[in-house]
Amino acid sequence: MEVIHLKAGENVAKRKDKVSAWYIVQEGNVTLRHEFEETTLGPNAIIGILEQDWFICDYYASTDVTLYVFPCEGVNDLKQFLAAEPKMRRIFLRSALLQRHQLFCAYADMYHKVRQFQNLSDTLYEEYVYLCARSKVEAKQSLDVANITPLEMQHKAENWEINNSNSLIRGALDAYLNLMETDEDLCIGSIMEASAQMHRIARGIREMTNYLRNNRDALFSQVRSDLFHASLLLQSGVKARGGDDGEIKKLIEKQLGYAKELGIFQEELLVSCAKEYASNTEKETAVDQECKTDLEYILQFAGYEGDKYQEMQELFVAYEKVKDADNKDEAAYRLRKQVGKVFYELYWDCFLQAVEGRKKITPVMEMFFNFAYIDQGFLGEDKTSELYQLSAHLDMCASDHVFTIFRWLRAVYEGEKEPSKNEFDMDYTAYLNDGLRRGEWTKEEVARRKQDQKAKARYELENMFTSVNRVTYGNITMFSPVLCEKDLFNSLDKMVVTADRIEDAFNTVRKIDYSLFYRPMLPRTGTSDLIKNEMVMEEILPDVILMPNAGTRAMMWQETASVRNDTPARFMIPIFTAVDLQEAILENCGRYRWEMCRKIQGVRWNDIRERSLTSDYYDYLQFYRKNRELSAETKDQIKGALARAKNNFREIFVKDYQNWIKYEAKGGFRLNRYVRQIMFTYCPFSKAYRADLKTNPMFADAIGKLETNNARNYKRLQGLYEKYKREGGTITPELRENLNFYQM
């Protein structure tokens, strides 16, 4: 087993990382972190034992730690390890049972927190309604707290499980261990049973975490539609009439006290709310007081005045009055075209007001920036209300690799991300050089623009945003950038594309095509001659940008973020969609496979002398008529596929890739023998799927060759890395990932 040392605060594993190894804590402590709960894992604890495929929890070193690492993706790897190390049976089983008990305790704490939240929400809301009635003030009817429903658990711990674990840990643990370690199958069965329970319980804790995160805004939030701000407003009204606000003060102080006790709110939010209460102010901005509609508010947020304000307002009002949003007459077409032009100008002006800190982003502006909302007249009251509620939970649409369009543009503006290619496949540097060549800019102007983050963000908005927004909508001729009621023909919770939905869809493909996002790279660390020129396989997950429309098409916009191959691809998806997200992701993973190979191969992408996915596939389609391995029927099928794809070889590959993942991986044959061979060579199945197909004569030889090559590479790398360590080198996570790649 490999030994690694981590400093306090360093990550051991992050949620959504691929599980390729388990870690045994030798010295120190590791913290298992949920959002509102933490569990400390001490010596002999096993990190990864409760996980499946991808980590569902975060783990970080709470002290300096020493960890043993051994590759493990399931019961077969565990069985091999314990067969080779029988003395570890008792340690593993003991650790599994103790960790299960710890997780049950964390589950019980979280369950109590959820019950406490539900009871407090009901109690505090009833007190608020009572005080409103007593003060002869109408209670706010739109408060979310009135609609909080009890949580129905999908992954629940039963009482008998908790009681069983308690009894085992408190009195019968040694006797149980003595019995189980006598038999390998009994021991492994007990470990995996505990592992399955822990996985379910961890998912249950995540369910409760999501419930609290999604409902806590009903009590305290920044969007001011919560119980706390309603209570402040009630207090202000009573004080303005000269009434006694003593009972209302007690209610507000109770709310603040309970919020701190629950421990589910951000500290900054509670400090801000406490300051508001202390000053007893609930002032509306001048803009809020003057504006009658959301359209007027957005226009004033952008800083428009006079004629420009009037012209923009009249244009959007005229567009709102078009009875048939799909009207194809000339007047409606011209109106759509005008709106399409001015919308992005309005977006840019509002964007600058927000990112330069001139104005605070309110819920209406959140809706505008992320969903292209303009006014209630375009959506209707019900859909507007749904959208308003969704704007309070935009964190559902965000992760390290998933961005709303506003968050993406902000990342470009702040220099965290580089601009995307435009519709002519030109990146920002190529675009500037083209302008220099055509005489639009001087060398000095080009040099300035290369460092100008505002210019980069403007380029991103005027190129990628405008182009992709139209294409992902799905109907280019009838496209309008303004979100309309006709586009939202289903409930928003069913149409919204969340980060979890996206990651689940990608993981479904990655689980089968394990090498999908891996690329050969030179090591980023290590200067030893032993490894500095040794290519390593590194997984680089794509960035996904959610376009503010209700569309029907996803896109793989570019296979890398720049000319460098170590940057993530960019996938574009509508933030609301009615199509099957899994199908859309799978289709674009196929396009990514093709385009990434083309980029790596360069001008030789179709040169059969340089064997690659694209060159083999190009040769197969270009010369299929002369291929004696193909039957006449198969040749007719290829001819038909070429005609349907208009001789676009990539699109034929994409269809075959979809069949490869959906059917061939499960033993359903849809491809001819020649294509199957190409696919297995460049898009092989993961170990779990290969195990199921090993006995199938269609795959037996290919699987045997792949696993022999993987074993040879693994053994060679092991020897190389051992020599590197003897010279004083450190096996970095990058090198460990490369080693694990050959065991997938």
Q: Would you call 175 helix, strand, or coil by DSSP?
A: helix
Say how far apart CA 570 and CA 573 lie, in whole Å. 10
Per-residue model confidence as pLDDT tens digits over 626-647: 998 899 999 999 999 999 999 9
Q: Are residues 295 and 225 in the same domain?
A: no
Is 278 found in the same domain as 134? yes
Query: 293 and 264: one domain?
Result: no
- Pick the residue with more confidence: 1 or 218? 218
Instruction: Answer for the pair 317, 309: CB distance below 8 angstroms, yes or no.
Output: no
Per-residue pLDDT for 696 more than 70?
A: yes
* pLDDT at residue 249 greater than cutoff 50: yes
31: in domain: yes
Instruction: Specify if 171 maps to a domain.
Output: yes
- Same domain? For 158 and 274 the reply is yes
Residue 326 is predicted with a pLDDT of 55
pLDDT score of 703 more than 90: yes
The answer on 299 and 277 residing in a single domain is no
Clarify whether residues 210 and 144 are in a common domain.
yes
Residue-number span of the structural domain to which 715 is assigned: 687-744
In the predicted model, is pLDDT for residue 70 greater than 60? yes
**pLDDT over 70 (residue 523):** yes
> Which of 243, 261, 283 delimits the end of a domain?
283
Determine the distance from the C-alpha atom of residue 184 to the mean position of all C-alpha atoms in its chain, rounded to a whole number: 40
Q: What are the φ and ψ backbone dihedral angles of 23, each rounded to 5 degrees?
A: -125, 130
Same domain, 324 and 389: yes
Please indicate whether residue 500 or residue 241 has the higher confidence score (pLDDT): 500
Q: Is the pLDDT of residue 380 over 90?
A: no
Pair 472, 574: CB distance under 8 Å: yes
Q: pLDDT-based confidence at 170, cuts 50/70/90?
A: confident
pLDDT at res. 69: 84
Average confidence (pLDDT) over 350-358? 92
Is 250 found in the same domain as 115? yes
- Give the end of a domain, one of 487, 509, 524: 487
pLDDT more than 70, % of the chain: 97
Residue 1 confidence (pLDDT): 66
**What's the confidence (pLDDT) of residue 14?**
85
Better pLDDT: 218 or 575: 575
pLDDT tens profile 551-596: 999 999 999 998 888 899 999 999 999 889 999 999 999 999 999 9
With respect to residue 681, please indicate whether it lies within any of the assigned structural domains: no
Mean per-residue pLDDT over the chain, rounded: 89
Confirm whether 122 is domain-assigned: yes
* Neighbouring C-beta atoms of residue 143, cutoff 10 Å: 19
Q: Determine the pLDDT at residue 289.
A: 41
Question: Residue 206 corresponds to which tokens in the numbers above?
Answer: 């995540």
CATH of residue 15's domain is 2.60.120.10
Half-sphere exposure of 7 (CA within 13 A, CB side): 0
Mean pLDDT of all residues in 408-425: 93
In a domain, 637, yes or no: no
Report how many domains make up the chain: 4
Which residues have CB under 8 Å from 634's CB, separation 6+? 672
Q: Does 80 map to a domain? A: no
**Residues 6 or more apart from 535 whose CB is under 8 A from it?**
520, 521, 522
Last residue of a domain, one of 73, 106, 130: 73
pLDDT at residue 328 in the model: 67
pLDDT digits (tens, 9 = 90+) for 272-329: 888 888 875 444 333 444 457 899 999 999 999 999 999 999 999 988 887 454 566 7
Residue at 628 is within a domain: no
> Which 8-state DSSP code applies to residue 400?
S
Q: What is the arithmetic mean of pLDDT over 36-45? A: 86
Residue with tokens 């991808």: 54
Residues 143 and 271 in one domain: yes
Distance CA(558)–CA(569), nearest Å, equals: 6
pLDDT tens digits, 89-135: 888 899 999 999 999 999 999 999 999 999 999 999 999 999 998 88
65, 39 in Cβ contact below 8 A? no
Instruction: Judge if 232 and 307 occupy the same domain.
Output: no
pLDDT of residue 243: 80
Are 123 and 258 in contact by the 8 Å Cβ rule? The answer is no
User: Residue 397: pLDDT above 90?
Assistant: yes
Burial 119-140 (b: 16+ CB within 10 A, else e): ebbeebbebbeebbeebeeebb
Tell me if 577 is assigned to some domain.
Answer: no
- Angle, alpha carbons 392-394-400 (nearest 5°): 150
396 and 441 share a domain? Answer: yes
**Helix ranges restricted to H, 515-580:** none
- Is the pLDDT reported for residue 546 higher than 80? yes
Per-residue pLDDT band for 212 (boundaries 50, 70, 90) equals very high
CA–CA distance, 713 with 535 (Å, rounded to integer): 12
**HEC assignment per residue over 176-206:** HHHHHCCCHHHHHHHHHHHHHHHHHHHHHHH
The reported pLDDT for the residue numbered 286 is 38
The answer to whether residues 237 and 386 belong to one domain is no
